[in-house]
């Protein structure tokens, strides 16, 4: 792992802007969630580069922890895990094209079978290649994204019993509103899923692994935990929405840092940045930081964002640029090379993911997944 206690920029660090990920915090979050949902087990969701934390590095930690499964969105994410030696079971949750099926089988990735036609295509490819396929059946109980509707799911389940080259390991659905204060729709979706599952009871068959609970349902809908749960944003230490109580002691594992690269004094009445929307009300010291919306530091935060310099919060002033932002530090001092916290904590001062999301008018998920890959990741622990 890269050392983090070096006060100067490391030789292998191409930029003064970086993301630090504490893998021990992620391991703790996994254990907290696992204890909360037991006897259900935990399938962390690692799509979108593990919510910006680093797909391969996070998967390796989970493999050491004995996680039963991880979930990703796309085939290429699963392939990347295999190419880097990760042998954990991987469920690809998103929709697939028929032409992709052989790649799933070649690399031992689990498919989401979302229709009778998709299931038949998987069966045909598996038979032709002589490689058994593992699938989880996707039931749409009210998200209207992918999956067979709950009211016509019996045809998919019947077809799955006739497959000879497909192993139906799981069956799942996804909540649309489990992070809302009103859980009526989530409970309706769970009832619909239970209705589908009665197919197995009527035939005296054991059901496959059942899973439905995302982060919101893990926190608010215990009856949805079933056999597996699928934490996304919760695993990374944030609430799925402001409406969900922070009832589990998960912690933010990611810090976004940069360094001062320029210092100037701006006179009273002088505008800063594009459009001149911010004008210095009095003479002030302004530092420039090498980060911007090209890195995922959202332009929508202009006029709202703050950063931490020497343990104190200061406002970002003027419009956020593609590659740089300016910060007013008043009469305080900062020097070239001084470290600045964009996201996360320093001492007793912190900028949580939820606050940055509020500045940008979005959700924590988008903040994390928008941090560009040109921002290097540095890891500790694990």
Catalytically active residues are: 47, 274
CA contacts within 13 A on the Cβ side of 186 = 23
Please list, in sequence order, all residues whose beta carbon lies within 8 angstroms of the beta carbon of residue 283, skipping any fewer than 6 positions away.
265, 266, 267, 268
Contact by Cβ (8 Å): 324, 290: yes
3-state SS, residue 213: strand
Q: Could you give the CA distance from residue 104 to residue 121 in angstroms, rounded to a whole number?
A: 12
Contact by Cβ (8 Å): 264, 285: yes
3-state SS, residue 134: strand
Contact by Cβ (8 Å): 32, 219: no
3-state SS, residue 285: strand
Phi first, then psi, for residue 182 (nearest 5°) are: -100, 115
Task: Tell which residue, 193, 221, 226, 194, has the closest CA to residue 209.
Answer: 226
Task: Tell which residue, 152, 161, 221, 154, has the closest CA to residue 186.
Answer: 221
- Examine residue 123 and say whether the peptide bond preceding it is cis (omega within 30 degrees of 0): no
Q: Could you give the CA distance from residue 193 to residue 151 in angstroms, rounded to a whole number?
A: 10
Name the one residue in this structure whose structure tokens are 């709202």.
Answer: 304
Contact by Cβ (8 Å): 61, 27: yes
b/e per residue 177-188 (b: at least 16 CB within 10 A): bbbbeebeebbe
Q: Could you give the CA distance from residue 80 to residue 72 in angstroms, rounded to a whole number?
A: 11
Task: Return the structure tokens found at 222.
Answer: 């215990």
């Amino acid at each position: 792992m890269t050392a983090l206690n070096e006060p100067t920029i490391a030789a292998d660090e191409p930029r003064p802007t970086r993301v630090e990920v504490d893998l021990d915090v992620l391991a703790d979050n996994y254990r907290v969630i696992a204890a909360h949902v037991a006897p259900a087990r935990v399938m962390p969701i690692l799509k979108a580069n593990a919510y910006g934390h680093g797909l391969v590095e996070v998967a390796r930690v989970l493999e050491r922890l004995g996680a039963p499964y991880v979930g990703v969105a796309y085939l290429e994410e699963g392939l990347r895990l295999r190419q880097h030696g990760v042998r954990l079971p991987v469920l690809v949750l998103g929709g697939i094209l028929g032409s992709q099926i052989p790649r799933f089988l070649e690399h031992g990735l689990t498919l989401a079978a979302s229709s009778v036609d998709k299931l038949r295509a998987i069966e045909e490819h598996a038979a032709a290649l002589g490689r058994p396929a593992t699938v989880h059946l996707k039931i749409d109980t009210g998200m209207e994204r992918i999956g067979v509707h709950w009211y016509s799911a019996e045809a998919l389940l019947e077809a799955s019993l006739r497959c000879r080259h497909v192993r139906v390991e799981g069956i799942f659905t996804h909540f649309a509103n489990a992070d809302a204060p009103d859980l009526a729709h989530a409970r309706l979706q769970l009832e619909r899923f239970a209705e589908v599952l009665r197919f197995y009871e009527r035939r005296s068959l054991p059901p496959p692994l059942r899973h439905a609970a995302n982060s919101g349902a893990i926190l608010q809908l215990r009856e949805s935990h079933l056999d597996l749960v699928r934490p996304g944003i919760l695993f990374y230490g944030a609430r799925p929405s402001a409406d969900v109580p922070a009832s589990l002691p998960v912690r933010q594992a990611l810090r976004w840092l940069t360094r001062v690269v320029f210092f100037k004094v701006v006179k009273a009445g002088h505008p800063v940045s594009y459009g001149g929307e911010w004008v210095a009300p009095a003479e002030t010291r302004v530092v420039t930081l090498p980060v911007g919306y090209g890195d995922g530091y959202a332009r929508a935060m202009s006029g709202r964002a703050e950063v931490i310099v020497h343990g104190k919060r200061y406002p970002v002033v003027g419009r956020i640029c593609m590659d740089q932002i300016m910060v007013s530090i008043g009469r305080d001092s900062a020097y070239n090379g001084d470290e600045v916290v964009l996201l996360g904590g320093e001492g007793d001062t912190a900028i949580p993911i939820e606050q940055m999301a509020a500045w940008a008018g979005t959700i924590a998920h988008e903040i994390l997944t928008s941090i560009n890959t040109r921002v290097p990741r540095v890891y500790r622990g694990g």
